[in-house]
Structure 1
Amino acid sequence: MKKFMEKLSILSLSLILTTAFSISSAQSAMFAFYKGIPESWIELLVSLPSAGIMVMLLLNGVIEKYLTERQMIVTGLLIFSLCGFVPLFDQSYWLIFASRLIFGMGLGLLNAKAISIISERYQGRERVQLLGLRGSAEVVGTALLTLGVSLLLPFGWQAVFLVYAFGLVVLALYLLFVPAEQTASKGKSRQKKPLQLTKEDWRLSLGFAFVAGVIVLTNIAINVRVPGIVERSGMGTAQTAGLILSLMQLTGIAAGISFAAFLRYFKERLLTVSGFAFGLMQLFIGLAPNLWVLTLSAIAAGFVYSIALTAIFYTLSERISSSLLNQATSIVILGCSAGATATTFVLSSIGRFSSHQAVIFSILGSAMILTALFALRIGKDKTSAL
């Protein structure tokens, strides 16, 4: 039971990683409250944590030298909840602006650690299963907090920020059930391990950061463009598109549960196979002749997207020293953030040549397939897949 609670508590860290945007449904009420402030400034409050996350990811290598794993996680969770509560007590725009930025920095402290802690503490089958479940935890956490926001919204937009109290629940679980690092036993091994990433580590980390960036970019493109395809083609309404995207996200849970089985079968080829399948699904989305093909393609895309990202972090954990894994993970997550940021620019650039969805998704799908082949090259050394 103790071991189960330890695993559950570690997985709970991932429940809050993608919840910064959970309050987005409160934007309309915030527009009405801040009448004299441009709406774009209010929208910025929702997306601002992303900037804080990126800042902390860049600084992670330095912070790691001064703070232990426990100090980083506890500090991150406290910042997450305490800064999340600020709008409950003071609605000054610039105070909330600062709190949301610091809130993102708290998430940045957690982001890489929530992933690397699994690879640092577990090996073999346990590691594979937990990395798969970790991806599912992100989906579940986002869904739970988004539901919480919808339930609290009738009490005022300020009340929705109460959902971030969930960070205190995660903090309690972590402190109660996750033992501190065995620093004494690790002292000698740390002296033998390099304090900085080697040239090979950098090559692998940057290569996977690029692959992860392309995966995230094309996934966001699907989320952005599928509603337009559904409505403009007459396949359905905005509600239909919303249902498709919801199903697409929820397949992440199934992907996490089945990750270990896919890894046993495909081994070191899993990233390439799932990346290739993801690109193929994008081609199907662009060429979909009816709603059923579009829906099935989008759902399959959501599934292989989650498998591909988890495969990256698994392979990284097999190839990078545990003492440097947090730094390498931070680099890959920065690649994910860069891909998300570049999505609008890439879509607008393709739009200069053609606005037809078949052309757009043919380009994106082809790029994803080529990236999957690139992943095969950078990850050619065999991992110890089960």
Structure 2
Amino acid sequence: MKTKLPTKMAMLSISLFLMSHLAIAPAIPKLYALYHGQNPNIGLASVESLVTIPAMMITIFVMLSNLVVATLGKKKTVQLGLVLILLSGIISFLTKQFAVALLCRLLLGVGIGLYNSLSISIISDYYEGDERASMIGFRTATLNIGKALTTFIVGLALLVGVNYTYLVYLLVIPVYVFFSKYVPETSSGSLSLKKATYFNQAVLYLMLITFFVGISYIGATIKIPSLLVNKYHYSSFYVSNLLTILAFSGILIGLVFGQLTKYLKDKTLAAMIFLMGLGNLIFTFATHSAFFILAALLIGASFVGTMSSVFDYIAKHFKKEHNHFVTSLAITAGNIGVILTPVLLTKLPAQFQLEMFIAPFYMTSGFMLVNLILYGLLVKKTSQEKS
């Protein structure tokens, strides 16, 4: 379907807030001073939960969004999610009560979760082929740009006052207006839940792939600092820059993802899984800075590439009415992997008395080998269904 540039930009703009729950992380020390000053019983861990607790609601409402879409339709569900995000920010700004702020962060997670998977499936309603792949890549790039933008704005808001950090969500207002004006309701509108749901072996394979990729990416993010600072004695500043490179490579791959799929087709998914495994494997033997930079580039780029490939695969091989549900399952599986990462990569190796710095990277490399096997099974299952 041919659409104008404003429509494309409006579709992409809603992805700016999908990782915005992480934006207030730089404000944690001052937020702790604020809330602890109001109530000495509030500890640092409680204040840190303001960053992490939205993820729980995002995971839950990614799945529950299917119920909302069945009632309201896709466009109104996105609009509802944006309104909830805006309300969470305004109410948090107006109060100094930690309990209210915590409830607002839960509300933020609900808002993000409601349209997380819709930010992908709505693209499939309007675009096909290479254009759809490009839009999915741009969507992932927009998500990462949004994370950087909201974090930057929070940093500026801190110069005014700690409560002003919550006003970063005023950005929702122009996005809401832009989306409402230029994106029409999809022809599918609101489907019954029975018609929208679908599950088979291929869906299971996709869920397992995103589950293991979530572990490998977040695992690298939390284990790289421990490895480089504690084992190889690099500075925290160096590690911070390395993680910035990791994040930036994700934006770049999102921008060129459409071109990649033109040449590699469905094999893009296998290529990205392989690169994720290679990036993690490099950390098991490398000791030189150049190898660490290469590995970070591979992990950051391949994570975005893998997730974009999964979403593109779903759009290509599943019916449009099933896209949102299957995408929701894939995102949920990835989030579960993220949640379980500390258990699998920290507690499990400790239980078996494995080396604590290198062992996690052997594990994540192994997970990508499993993913390549799952990819083979996925392709086989898909071809069987088509024949």
The equivalent of 2:373 in structure 1 is 373
Structure 1 residues without counterparts, runs of 5 or longer: none
1:60 deviates by 2.1
After the TM superposition, which residues 1-386 of structure 1 pair with which residues of structure 2 at under 5 Å, given as runs?
3-35=4-36, 36=40, 37-182=42-187, 195-198=195-198, 201-234=199-232, 236-347=234-345, 348-352=347-351, 353-380=353-380, 381=382
- 8 Å CA contact 1:280–1:369 kept in 2: the answer is no
Counterpart amino acid of residue 10 in structure 2: S
Measure how far apart 1:197 and its partner are.
3.1
Deviation (angstroms), 1:136:
0.6
Change (3 A) 1:313 1:169: same
SS of the aligned residue for 2:71 comes to: coil
The one-letter amino acid of 1:228's match is S
Displacement after TM superposition at 1:321 (Å) = 1.4
Deviations 1:149-187 (A, max 9, x none): 11111222101111111111211110121123236xx79
Are the counterparts in 1 of residues 144 and 247 from structure 2 also a CA contact under 8 Å?
yes
**The 10-residue stretch of structure 1 (10-19 or 174-183) with the greater mean CA deviation from structure 2:** 174-183
For residue 306 of structure 1, give the secondary structure of its aligned residue in structure 2.
helix
Rounded to whole Å, the distance in 2 between the matches of 1:215 and 1:248 is 15
**Cα separation, partners in 2 of 1:194 and 1:66, compared to 1, 3 Å:** closer
By how many angstroms is 1:286 displaced?
A: 2.0
After superposition, the Cα gap between the structure-2 partners of 1:235 and 1:39, relative to the gap in structure 1 and judged at 3 Å, is: closer
**Cα displacement string for residues 54-100 of structure 1 (whole angstroms, at most 9, x for unaligned residues):** 22123122222211112101111011111122121111121111111
Post-superposition offset of 1:16: 1.0
CA separation in 1, counterparts of 2:44 and 2:229? 26
- 8 Å CA contact 1:153–1:159 kept in 2: the answer is yes
1:200-221 alpha-carbon deviations (Å, 9 max, x no partner): x433223212110110111111
The alignment covers a number of residue pairs equal to 376
Structure 2 CA distance for aligned equivalents of residues 206 and 62 of structure 1 = 21
In 2, the alpha carbon distance for the partners of 1:349 and 1:371 equals: 20
So what's the TM-score if we normalise by structure 1? 0.92
Q: Could you tell me how far apart the structure 1 residues matched to 2:187 and 2:209 are?
A: 34
TM-score (norm 2): 0.92
The alpha carbon displacement at 1:371 in A equals 1.5
Query: How far apart, in 2, do the equivalents of 1:232 and 1:87 lie?
Result: 38
What secondary structure does 1:324 align onto? helix
Indicate if the aligned counterparts of 1:133 and 1:256 stay in contact, CA closer than 8 A: yes
Q: Which letter maps to 2:109? A: G
In structure 1, what residue type is equivalent to 2:365? G
Q: For 2:114 and 2:120, locate their aligned partners in 1 and report how far apart those are by CA, in whole Å.
A: 11
CA shift, 1:355, in A, is 2.7
Does the CA-based 8 Å contact 1:285-1:298 persist in structure 2?
no
CA distance in 2, matches of 1:164, 1:379: 41
CA offsets 1:220-255 (integer angstroms, 9 cap, x no match): 111111112222244521010000000110111211
**Structure 1 residues 23-55: Cα deviation after superposition (integer angstroms, max 9, x where no partner):** 011110111122211221111122111122122
* Matching residue's letter, 2:290: W
User: RMSD value over aligned CA atoms?
Assistant: 2.1
Amino acid of the residue matched to residue 32 of structure 2?
Answer: F
Question: What's the CA shift for 1:364?
Answer: 1.5
Question: What amino acid is aligned across from residue 144 of structure 1 in structure 2?
Answer: L
